[in-house]
């Protein structure tokens, strides 16, 4: 049952407050608890700052400008590792245009930053691209960063493990890997103890363990679809943790390094995410969703008691672990207030006091964060669905204009809490519906599997069934409904105008798919059969030439569109090519259907730039207000 609440509406915050980059994008506490590092922005440009907590003084900073800083991680108390991505085509090396990551070290004491993986070890041909976040170890008093990267053997790029001495600026290739190597797991001393090799062409997965005489395979699986994820060390140093899909659930299991034997699934919630605490290298606990509430479960009683005390101090808010000092005496958390939005706070477990670091979205005040309520309803075939309804302030929840806002993925899910895009739309006077349609993650394997083959079909009607449920309660006006989404949600918006007609007054797609045959063919050519298998599983096709793909491609049904369409796409989108929106725009124009195409210069699939992210939001809101006025 849906509980409806509304309050006195304050003057709406400008769209810039929601649409520009967050004032604080990320934060991390130093291992000694003395400093906090942040990625701060003025809405567009990024700056990395390191603040001393004892007196609030900024002791180091780095102007990043428009660089896309993806994460920061401490390596000892004096080094901060930054991951920065760029959209590029590595000429003569990797012909495919994509988003590539590089690592930088901000030396806090020296006050300077330097790109890592630039000093090439003797006899090694390598790239400065990295494949993921660093593993950090302190060895003989010196900080080391271990990074996955590419080196070349017989002119072929292979993933290996690089060891970087941050004090001495020395890089070493410590594990060459081979053509199919994907991941490594390190022991506390930094030595590689396990790795995974995966051949996507045939779907063969192998876990290898380091022995005195080299790497030895201890487990093999045929895994064309459900590829196990090597996550890190298990609860003890003698085992590694693997995330694996079984017949009916996603589980965490340990594999013993000594003989490769599988342990029983850990007694945790389905889909739980593993947690490792700073300064420790074995699994500490898991995070999961219990209904709509995040739950942290730690294996050690002391860790659980500490977290329970933190959660109790912020009762009524959604609290997420961010980082902690190595001794656990200081903990950095993200606190999501249902009335003020998210912000960072530092909890001192010795003094039992919390210090507010800063809000993520500067300028939000009470009344700018609309209430979000859980929603449960049944699809037309009886499947129970869950989602969230954001209600605009100052409007009685009767006959409201509605924006359906499907998430991307599709195999992810919406969670309760602050969503900048949904909140921005609600601030203009719309109710916003977010449905975790079949095929969404987080509800178990059977629910995920219910989405296989349902692109443009039941995954689509799950959205319109949500409209019907709200209209039946009188909450929304079924004649004043639009659909807006990004990525898969953009596809759903286009399908709403062309395949599930008669529901929406307008549809806005941001980086969405329109021609599935072309997309699947490109995926097969660029990423191999493994990528094709994943996509065609949800689309219900066996081959790029399967007529099913034509049947559920909005571009093929442009002449049937019954609502105006807005297409917004980043020129640097390497996930869904800009061509997908251009093809849809041409097809709609040829059919004499109302369509607008907005191309965002320099923008990627994730709306990483402040100016273009805001431009997208402004274009979408203007489109909604024109075609579905909120009053």
What pairs with residue 330 in β-bridges?
348
Model confidence at 283, pLDDT cuts 50, 70, 90, reads very high
pLDDT in tens, 568-602: 999 999 999 999 999 999 999 999 999 999 999 99
Question: How confident is the model at residue 158, as a pLDDT?
Answer: 87
User: Does pLDDT of 362 surpass 60?
Assistant: yes
Alpha-carbon span 128 to 19, nearest angstrom? 33
Q: Are 229 and 243 in contact, with CB atoms under 8 Å apart?
A: yes
**Strand locations in 166-211, DSSP E?**
170-175, 181-186, 192-199, 204-211
Model confidence at 1, pLDDT cuts 50, 70, 90, reads very low
Task: Express as a percent the part of the chain with pLDDT over 90.
Answer: 78
Model confidence at 404, pLDDT cuts 50, 70, 90, reads very high
Task: Express as a percent the part of the chain with pLDDT over 70.
Answer: 96
**What Cα–Cα distance (Å) separates residue 9 from each residue in 12, 370, 394, 400, 426?**
8, 9, 4, 15, 11
Question: How confident is the model at residue 201, as a pLDDT?
Answer: 81
**What Cα–Cα distance (Å) separates residue 381 from each residue in 248, 275, 473, 497?**
21, 38, 20, 22
Least confident of 87-96, 287-296, 375-384, 407-416: 87-96
How many Cβ atoms sit within 10 Å of the Cβ of residue 247? Answer: 8
Mean pLDDT, the chain, whole residue set: 92
Question: How confident is the model at residue 224, as a pLDDT?
Answer: 75
Q: Are 385 and 435 in contact, with CB atoms under 8 Å apart?
A: yes
Alpha-carbon span 508 to 421, nearest angstrom? 13
Burial of 411 (0-12, 13-18, 19+ CB in 10 A): middle
pLDDT in tens, 424-436: 999 999 999 999 9
**Backbone phi and psi for residue 554, each to the nearest 5 degrees, phi listed first:** -55, -35
pLDDT in tens, 171-204: 999 999 888 999 999 999 999 999 999 998 888 9
pLDDT in tens, 316-329: 999 999 999 999 99
**Backbone phi and psi for residue 458, each to the nearest 5 degrees, phi listed first:** -70, -30
Question: How confident is the model at residue 93, as a pLDDT?
Answer: 55
Token pair recorded at residue 290: 């219990």
User: Does pLDDT of 527 surpass 80?
Assistant: no
Question: How confident is the model at residue 7, as a pLDDT?
Answer: 36
Helix (H), strand (E) at residue 516? helix 516-527
Q: Which residue has the higher pLDDT, 444 or 519?
A: 519
Question: How confident is the model at residue 111, as a pLDDT?
Answer: 86
Question: How confident is the model at residue 157, as a pLDDT?
Answer: 82
Domain assignments of the chain as residue spans, ordered by start: 180-286, 372-515+553-626
Residue 560, helix vs strand vs coil: helix
User: Does pLDDT of 10 surpass 50?
Assistant: no
Looking at the domain covering 372-515+553-626, what would its CATH class be? alpha beta
Sheet with 181-186, side-by-side order of all strands? 181-186, 192-199, 204-211, 214-222
Mean pLDDT over residues 468-492, rounded? 98
**305: which residues sit within 8 A by CB, 6+ positions away?**
none
Question: How confident is the model at residue 533, as a pLDDT?
Answer: 67
Model confidence at 95, pLDDT cuts 50, 70, 90, reads low
Question: How confident is the model at residue 94, as a pLDDT?
Answer: 58
How many Cβ atoms sit within 10 Å of the Cβ of residue 15? Answer: 18
Alpha-carbon span 93 to 237, nearest angstrom? 38
Alpha-carbon span 229 to 247, nearest angstrom? 16
Q: Which residue has the tokens 């600026």?
A: 169
User: Does pLDDT of 4 surpass 50?
Assistant: no
Q: Are 288 and 274 in contact, with CB atoms under 8 Å apart?
A: no
Model confidence at 372, pLDDT cuts 50, 70, 90, reads very high
Question: How confident is the model at residue 528, as a pLDDT?
Answer: 63
Question: How confident is the model at residue 91, as a pLDDT?
Answer: 57
Model confidence at 445, pLDDT cuts 50, 70, 90, reads confident
């Amino acid at each position: 049952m849906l509980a409806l609440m509304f309050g006195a509406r304050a003057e709406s915050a400008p769209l810039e407050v929601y649409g520009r980059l967050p004032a604080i994008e990320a934060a991390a506490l130093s291992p000694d608890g003395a400093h906090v590092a942040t990625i701060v922005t003025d809405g567009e440009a990024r700056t990395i700052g390191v603040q001393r907590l004892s007196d609030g003084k900024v002791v180091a900073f780095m102007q990043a400008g428009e660089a896309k800083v993806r994460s920061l991680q401490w390596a000892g108390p004096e080094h901060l590792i930054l991951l920065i991505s760029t959209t590029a085509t590595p000429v003569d090396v990797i012909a495919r245009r994509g988003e590539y990551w590089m690592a930088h070290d901000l030396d806090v004491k020296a006050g300077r930053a330097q790109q890592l993986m630039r000093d090439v070890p003797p006899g090694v041909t390598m790239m400065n691209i990295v494949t993921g976040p660093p593993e950090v170890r302190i060895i003989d008093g010196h900080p080391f960063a271990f990074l996955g990267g590419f080196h070349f053997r017989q002119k072929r790029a292979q993933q290996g493990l690089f060891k970087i001495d941050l004090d001495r600026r020395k890089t070493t290739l410590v594990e060459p890997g081979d053509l199919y190597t994907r991941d490594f797991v390190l022991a506390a001393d930094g030595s590689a103890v396990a790795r995974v090799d995966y051949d996507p062409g045939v779907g063969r997965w192998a876990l290898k363990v380091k022995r005195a005489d080299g790497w030895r395979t201890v487990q093999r699986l045929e895994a064309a679809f459900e590829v196990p994820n090597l996550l890190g060390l298990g609860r003890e140093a003698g085992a590694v943790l693997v995330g694996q899909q079984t017949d009916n659930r996603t589980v965490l299991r340990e594999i013993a390094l000594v003989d490769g034997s599988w342990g029983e699934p850990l007694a945790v919630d389905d889909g739980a995410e593993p947690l490792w605490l700073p300064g420790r290298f074995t699994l500490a606990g898991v995070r999961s969703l219990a209904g709509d509430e995040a739950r942290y479960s730690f294996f050690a009683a002391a860790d659980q008691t500490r977290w329970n005390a933190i959660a109790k101090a912020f009762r009524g808010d959604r609290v997420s672990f961010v980082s902690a000092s190595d001794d656990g005496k200081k903990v950095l958390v993200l606190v999501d207030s249902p009335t003020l939005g998210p912000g960072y706070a530092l909890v001192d477990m010795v003094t039992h006091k919390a210090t507010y670091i800063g809000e993520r979205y500067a300028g939000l005040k009470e009344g700018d964060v609309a209430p979000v309520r859980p929603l449960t309803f049944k699809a037309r075939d009886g499947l129970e669905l869950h989602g969230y309804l954001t209600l605009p302030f100052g409007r009685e929840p009767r006959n409201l204009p509605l924006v359906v806002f499907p998430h991307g993925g599709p195999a992810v899910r919406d969670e309760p809490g602050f969503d900048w895009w949904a909140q921005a739309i609600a601030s203009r006077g719309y109710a916003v519906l977010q449905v975790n349609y079949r095929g969404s993650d987080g509800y178990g394997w059977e629910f995920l599997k219910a989405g296989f083959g349902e692109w443009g079909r039941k995954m689509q009607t799950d959205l319109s069934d949500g409209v019907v449920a709200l209209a039946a309660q009188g909450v929304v006006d079924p004649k004043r409904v639009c659909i807006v989404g990004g990525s898969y949600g953009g596809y759903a918006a286009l399908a709403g105008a062309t395949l599930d007609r008669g529901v929406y007054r307008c549809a806005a797609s941001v980086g969405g798919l329109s021609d599935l045959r072309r997309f699947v063919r490109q995926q097969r050519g660029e990423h191999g059969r493994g990528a094709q298998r994943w996509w065609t599983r949800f689309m219900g096709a066996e081959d790029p030439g399967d007529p099913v793909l034509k049947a559920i491609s909005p571009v093929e049904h442009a002449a049937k569109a019954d609502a105006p369409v807005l297409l917004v796409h980043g020129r640097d989108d390497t996930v869904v090519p800009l061509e997908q929106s251009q093809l849809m725009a041409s097809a709609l124009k040829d059919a004499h259907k109302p369509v607008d195409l907005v191309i965002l210069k320099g923008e990627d699939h994730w709306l990483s730039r402040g100016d273009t992210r805001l431009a997208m939001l402004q274009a979408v809101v203007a489109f909604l207000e024109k075609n579905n006025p909120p009053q």
